[in-house]
Structure 1
């Protein structure tokens, strides 16, 4: 009897949440960026924007849309002086969830699916103040496609929540790439050639100061070679000059685009069709076999369309990221993640050749020992 009662409560809670969603009513625990409930004022939770928090949230959203790293966005929240709604410190994963929450643009999601208006088939727009437009939200989803899925499949956030329950928050790290401090990780290759004429070609790793080395260095990552090492800041500076020259030539005159995805209307119709299929089955028009056949085909089209939209916005963001490029933008606007992305646009690798025999390790840095390998579309 106890189990049956628990199931009844769960069904009521689920039904209540869906009813609120279909009505477009604000609900749930207070979200960062919105004011909490106030019975004296008759104010529901999550309906009206919090002036300070919503400003910081919108600024963070703009940083994400510009392609800034998650580490940069986490620092932005930290510098704001504000704290998460449930206390603690700002961390990458909760911020990713916060910035990809459909409530930012007025949408609601249950069990991995957007709540749709029963009459129009479009996503139901809730009755609360919003932070961004649906187009901006979809662009964020495009950037975070591996983190936040619209098909109800497991996401990085659900794995994160499970990890928190089992191991505690401090033991879980997300997106190591965003925290790397070396510009040319995965780009530099060891140029040592053995007696048989074989090129090592192993990726070089960034290393902090140690022993007699007072500077950060790149060193061959192959333990069987480990023969080539070079001072990191000097290598970075030399390759930056090369990359800036190419990017200025190719992208300085490029104009940013802000086009809407061409298939939005078709996707809306497919979602409306999904609701029609459900209603036809419930009313007895479709048999179970027919329902499953129509549902699977429609779901496949929806999934294909959503993937196409993600790709469209990702390609547009990549093009806009470098449009109007200038050396000033490189030094004053790009963070480490963006610089790494820009380098990868120009170069497929950089071969770091060993010092010639007889040359002392303390000799002046020689940029001629760096051999950039350009991608096909890039030129010197």
Structure 2
């Protein structure tokens, strides 16, 4: 039994050593900018005879399809549109599977697209300069485009590697900002879901204001409809196509006034050097503590202050690119772009930027439900900045 326990302990120790060597090798390759890992879609496999490493050179045809998917995502196209584009290309994933939303989102937020590497949810930075390490492989987008893709996917990275979209919603709520993207992604079919609200006046004089749900044809109703989603009310219903058309015309008019003359901008964030210096200082503090040059008390004091500055700087950068992306999305807007270029997701996003809600008031007493559609019973509620 003792011999068995000793043998088991020695085996576990070897496993730990192997894991450490592998982890150290991965980190060393990341700091050196060496391509590694399994083959990614868009890059060629390893070829020892030609001296080519895996994921070092782009595969021209796959890279073209990948770049087109990147451009669709940057334009704000719905994930279903991007998945269809990849399906239509005739290519499967590197594992031979069909494309679906989640793998596509992971693929388009991989920092390798722009030459970056990430370990445990944290970008690998040069220890001397504090700048992200640029890998020695061909890329398909710029770092600025990659950050926009990350924001497009509602993914927020942190040192713990938590990338769940719930963190994005919590961040938005905590900072008191508006989550236009959450509104826009609510449904794939109905244009005004989460925007249309019931305007029925209750006995106490207050309006219901429950969100109206999109419903398909049922019973004597031969058309799609929006209906109050509160089972205790459920008293207001209106034809979806007529509501959509009325609100669409109003939103297009506002967008043309606000954005038709706006020119897209691709400016780099002004604080990149400051953030890089803070990240370099962060690494210096860690190295000094590991080397025993400073004690735990000093380490915590320096670390907390530096971490707070890094967090504030990163938030400023994220807000800068988010604001620029929102403006570029609608820059040069026209009714023709709405009809020919915008898919359902982009249209819902545009409406959510202009309107807080659309109150759907009930039909006046005595008016037949089959009477002509009355646009005056729709009350658009614009967002404050409009």
> What is the aligned partner in structure 1 of residue 350 from structure 2?
342
> Which residue in the other structure is 1:93 paired with?
102
Q: Match for residue 211 of structure 1?
A: 219
Counterparts in 2 of 1:369 and 1:241: CA distance versus 1, 3 Å: same
Aligned to 1:181: 189
3-state SS of paired residue (2:358): strand
Correspondence 1:57 to 2:66: yes
Partner of 1:74: 83
d(CA) in 2 for partners of 1:335 and 1:214? Answer: 25
Taking the aligned partners of 1:208 and 1:8, their CA distance within structure 2 comes to 61
Residue 355 of structure 1 is matched in structure 2 by: 363
In structure 1, the residue matched to 2:251 is 243
Moved more, 19-28 or 148-157: 148-157
Any stretches of 5+ residues in structure 1 without a counterpart?
160-173
Counterpart pick for 1:252 among 238, 248, 260: 260
C-alpha deviation, 1:239, in angstroms: 0.7
Partner residue, 1:296: 304
Distance (Å, rounded) in 1 between the aligned partners of 2:298 and 2:381: 56
| SS class of match (2:50) | coil
Query: How far has the Cα of 1:178 moved from its partner?
Result: 6.1
Q: What secondary structure does 1:359 align onto? A: coil
Distance 1:40 1:237 in 2: 62
Q: CA deviation at 1:143?
A: 3.3
The whole-number CA distance in structure 2 between the counterparts of 1:292 and 1:195 is 60
Do the aligned partners of residues 359 and 198 (structure 1) sit closer, same or farther apart at CA in structure 2, a change above 3 Å counting? same
Distance 1:72 1:142, change over 3 A: same
1:84 aligned to which of 93, 109, 113: 93
Q: Is the 8 A contact 1:244 1:327 kept in 2?
A: yes
- Residues 126, 268 of structure 1: alpha-carbon distance in 2 compared, 3 angstrom cutoff: same
Cα distance change on mapping 1:51 and 1:178 into 2, 3 Å:
farther
Residue by residue over 1:55-113, the C-alpha shift from the partner in whole angstroms, topping out at 9 and shown as x without a partner, is: 11111111222222223222222222211111222222221121111111111111222
Does 1:151 pair with 2:148? no
Which residue of the other structure, out of 145, 169, 190, is the alignment partner of 1:136?
A: 145
Structure 1 position 7, deviation (Å): 1.2
Matched, 1:34 2:34: no
Q: Supply the distance in 1 between the matched residues of 2:202 and 2:248 (Cα, whole angstroms).
A: 29
Structure 2 alignment gaps of length 5 or more: 1-8, 168-181
Q: Does 1:24 align with 2:33?
A: yes
* Counterparts of 2:295 and 2:62, CA distance in 1: 50
- Are 1:333 and 2:341 matched, yes or no? yes
Shift of 1:189: 1.2
- Matches of 2:70 and 2:36, distance apart in 1: 22
User: Structure 1 CA distance, aligned partners of 2:385 and 2:207?
Assistant: 25
Give, in angstroms, the shift of residue 190 of structure 1: 1.1
TM-score (normalizing by structure 2) = 0.88
Distance 1:276 1:196 in 2: 64
- SS of 1:67's partner is coil
Measured in 2, the distance between the counterparts of 1:76 and 1:63 equals 9
Check whether the contact 1:216–1:231 (CA below 8 A) recurs between aligned residues.
Answer: yes
Structure 1 residue 327, shift from structure 2 partner: 0.5
8 Å CA contact 1:38–1:45 kept in 2: the answer is yes
Q: Is the 8 A contact 1:189 1:349 kept in 2?
A: yes
Q: Return the TM-score normalized by structure 1.
A: 0.89
1:228–1:354: 8 Å Cα contact kept in structure 2?
yes
Matched, 1:105 2:121: no
**SS of equivalent to 1:362:** coil
> In the TM superposition, what is the alpha-carbon distance from 1:131 to its structure 2 partner?
0.8
Q: Distance in 1 between matches of 2:125 and 2:22?
A: 19
